[in-house]
Structure 1
Amino acid sequence: MTALLVGCAPTATAAPGGPPPARPAPGTTYAVGMRTFTLDPASARPLPVTVWYPSVGGAVAAGRFPVVIYSHGLHSLPELHAGLTARWAAAGFVVAAPAYPHTRRGATRFDRADVRHQPADGWRLIRHLVRLDTRGGDPLAGHLDVARVAAAGHSAGGFTTAGMFTSGRSGRLRAGIVIAGGGTAGSFAGPPAPLLFVHGTADRIVPATVGRAAYHRTTGPAAFLSLLGQGHGEYLNPGLPGFGQVLATTVDFLRWTLYGDQAAGRRLPGDARHPGVTTFETRPADQFGRAPA
């Protein structure tokens, strides 16, 4: 599988001028709105996108919210990950999840090797969201904090996420979450960024050794959350063992990296560890949880 998941450097968007200052993470849990659209519908790679966003009274909540690009795995769809992505939106993030043209469930022409092209699709979506934020009349306009973007994904979507962290990338992309995935050719070559890896220790589809190899290749603060005895992603289902730790850890991580919430960074180890269910480690230990550069 990993031999097919070769990365390619994205066309970078214009990088904002330096890290934005920290600001308070929301102290409330929002209702969640959802919308869909298709990016470049007439192109060779139309990209259906599902967006979850913080909502109040049926409208987008007041304020600007960091953005998370979420990538699905092979034969999957964005809505199958709503147990996690909708909860991220409730915590104060706009989550945009593309359905990739040749790896999604029901694709007319399925091709797992197309994963190599998906990092560029992720960057195409980021550029679209940058434009959408200034588009008069769009409900999300003025609500997208496009200087604070994270990428996340499961399985092939985890490899897609890693492939977005290459040299020459835009400074908009500030953090990544690789779930049951690993690295691609050229990934982690750019400026250091905080990365969180989530993996089941009994994963037979993408062995934990693949995720660990990627974890040890990172150049910035990184953490590894292990789901003990678990496979390829059952811990992503609400109510099943480990989901609570995955949710709490990923929310803490996104609050720390995108809002600059230092309290969330300090909470990470305690929220991640649960005897008999999870273990949690960081490298280098003296950097993880500090203010992101």
Structure 2
Amino acid sequence: MRRRTLLFSLVAATGLSACSPSDEAAPKPATSSSAPTGDIMASNESSSLEPQNVTRYEFPAGSAPAAAFPVGRRDFTFARGTDRPLPTRVWYPAAGVAPASPAPTDNAAPAAGKFPLILFSHGLTSVPEDFAALLSRWAQAGFVVAGAAYPHTKYEAPAFDENDVINQPADAVAVIDQLLAQNGDPLRAVIDDTRIAAAGHSGGAITTIGLFSAQRDTRLKAGLAIAGTDFLSTPFTGPTSAMLFVHGTDDDTVKYEAGRTVYEAVPWSRAMLTIEGGGHVIEDSSFEAIARTTTEFWRWSLYGDNNARNRLPAAAAVGGVGRLDQEF
């Protein structure tokens, strides 16, 4: 297991009020008995964001795929300039009959159709593969999921710098741009560039919030922040979107109250899955509720599937560990 205790101390000039995602770890399937724990040093400051009334997000009504897909996996060598390599792993719906497990197959042929794109951002001392169990579930449900390893916050980064989170929203935009520029690639052919979302955990959740605030990417229809807080204390801006927050009440790295404040500052359709007694990482006991709730959220926000929206409370109740606030 990876252990690294950090104090998330972005310089005062940035105004970034957050704390260190100090022990990033892989989300484990509910059957695993190896939920990670670790040393944590927390530093939380109050956000200046104010509560907002909700403007309803509306996506054209539709339906998400009814059947599960096999999962394919591919790697790309993207970069933003010569000094910011962004190696990116992509999980996607593959052709064929879905097996019982969403374990991915490298370089599998993509399934026929058009699928929404989700850009996933990892936290400090982590990599996208750490979250493969969750990201594969999304791909199995009909989403292309791209996760870049950020140059200065990934696990074993040659020049680790937690302050570099401030540069990661621009990295995320570059990954989306370069993936969509893969003209002639069979994987690019199945991505629907009118249905794009962003998600992240901890430092990656802060990165995601930045994509809806200080460095708004107006292509994004929906966002997911797991154990995160605000970016530069900047209000949300841009076109109406849908946002889901996931946070444990016992998170000692990014306090629950910090995540709750940002949730209440979202001016659009919003929901928050509270994990009672949950910590900073995704634990065995909460994995299934998180996997199901996030998948139903994507089905609603990116496919316009109102049946999925109606299933959100039941998904959040799986395992009896979560409660859902829903303002759609």
Q: Unpaired runs of 5+ in structure 2?
A: 1-6, 17-57, 97-107
Tell me what 2:10 maps to.
4
Query: 1:170 Cα shift?
Result: 4.1
- Distance in 2 (CA, whole Å) between partners of 1:146 and 1:99 is 22
> How many corresponding residue pairs?
267
| Structure 1 Cα separation of the partners of residues 93 and 238 of structure 2 | 31
The one-character-per-residue Cα deviations of 1:103-150 (angstroms, maximum 9, x if unpaired) are 000100000000000001111111112212xx12x1213101111111
Letter in 2 for 1:36: D
Query: In the alignment, does 2:176 pair up with 1:126?
Result: yes
Q: Counterparts of 1:270 and 1:7 in 2: how far apart (Å)? A: 38
- 4+ runs deviating over 6 angstroms: none
Q: For 1:85, which of 126, 135, 141 is the aligned residue?
A: 135
Q: CA deviation at 1:280?
A: 1.1
Alignment-derived partner of residue 79 in structure 2: 40
Q: 2:65 aligns with which of 10, 26, 44?
A: 26
* Pairwise CA RMSD: 2.1
Q: Distance in 1 between matches of 2:312 and 2:138?
A: 16
Superposition pairs of residues 138-149 of structure 1, within 5 angstroms: 138-149=185-196
Structure 1 CA distance for aligned equivalents of residues 262 and 8 of structure 2: 12
**Superposition pairs for residues 227-238 of structure 1, below 5 Å?**
227-235=275-283
Q: Which has the higher contact order (CA 8 A, sep 6+)?
A: 2
How far apart, CA to CA, are the structure 1 residues paired with 2:162 and 2:146?
A: 22
Distance 1:275 1:72, change over 3 A: closer
Whole-Å separation in 2 of the counterparts to 1:181 and 1:7: 16
Identical aligned pairs, as a percentage? 46
Q: 1:20 to 1:140 in 2, by over 3 A?
A: farther
CA shift in 2, pair 1:115/1:149, >3 Å: same
Note the 1:242-281 alignment, pairs <5 A: 242-274=286-318, 276-281=320-325
Query: Are residues 1:156 and 2:203 paired?
Result: yes
Query: Cα offset for 1:4?
Result: 2.1
**CA shift for structure 1 position 72:** 0.4
Contact 2:59 2:301 survives alignment (8 Å): no
The equivalent of 2:19 in structure 1 is: none
2:270 is equivalent to residue 226 of structure 1: no
Q: Which amino acid aligns with 1:258?
A: L
The structural deviation recorded for 1:7 is 8.4
Shift of 1:2: 6.4
Alignment of 1:94-133 (within 5 A): 94-132=144-182
Q: Does the 8 A contact of 1:35 with 1:52 survive in 2?
A: yes
TM-score normalised according to structure 1 size = 0.85
